[in-house]
Homo-oligomer: A and B are copies of this chain.
């Protein structure tokens, strides 16, 4: 499927025509769930998960055996402003590590049987320093959205979108501040591990970014263009593509959710096919999840990015699907009811 957009306006139009889940499949899955050999509701969120996934997949028994993990990497002009504990060359170095199988996300993808692909977005050309000019031109933004769109395997039964990009928690914090309000300090966090001075620099950079582009920030897609990064835009493109294919998405941490927030604010309901894999230890993530109205599956203090928290949550979804698909009914097992 060729991306159905070549401009920011056509991407916006596309978001207004999103498919819904299949109500018949969801109802059939709920009916099956009610007959399985367990007290009603005793599998808690696992039951809701399986029924929800059935609706998106359009089948009574959902599947989670072929998940896809897509990782996008981008470089940021603001990385030169001392907003990260790590130097900018780490973005490219980690892409090599992803390709050689050495990162956390490689191990988690393998553990849960996910096919993982890595997309480095023009790493030699960081986005512009957004305190000075918009991070991306419209053409650059559309290119990044398209990379994300094209990265999704429509045959996958679940999608995780992850990222790598030194400086990108600051970019995500700028997006959150622009779209959700509050002050910069509400949304910046320690990222890969900055100290108090670094944290103050991050807030300064966010403030400067918002001031520089104030006239454009009423439009979420302009927020993404002015303050975002290529990997953040690519995640937004991938999440949109997944919706077009009715592939459910497991959202990761702060940066992934900032990308998702752009879609959510552009088109209400655009994230109905998404669930929150976890709440991270990055300061602003819990607030972002509230804004997205998503309850995280896991809360284990992760703050790595790379899609790691979402990939870990794949095991929960797989457990939910296995119970729903594989359990016997009361009638099949000859077990007495309540």
Contacts and interface: CB of A to CB of B under 8 A. Distances in A.
Contacts of A338: 85-86, 192-193
* Chain A residues touching B, range: 35 or more
A38 B332 contact: no
A175 interface: no
Contact of A93 (B39, B42, B112, B336): B336
Given A93-B336, A110-B326, A44 B300 contact: yes
Interface string A73-96: 000000000000111011001101
A43 B304 contact: yes
Interface string A288-325: 00000000011111111000100110011011001101
A103 B37 contact: yes
Nearest to A194: B338
Given A44-B300, A107-B322, A333 B39 contact: no
| Total copies of the chain | 2
A108 interface: yes
A315 B101 CA distance: 20
A45 B300 contact: yes
Nearest to A305: B42
Contacts of A108: 319, 322-323
Interface string A43-59: 11110000000000000
Given A44-B302, A87-B336, A103-B328, 14 more contacts: A37-B97, A41-B193, A42-B302, A44-B303, A46-B300, A94-B333, A97-B335, A102-B328, A102-B333, A104-B323, A108-B323, A298-B298, A312-B319, A315-B319
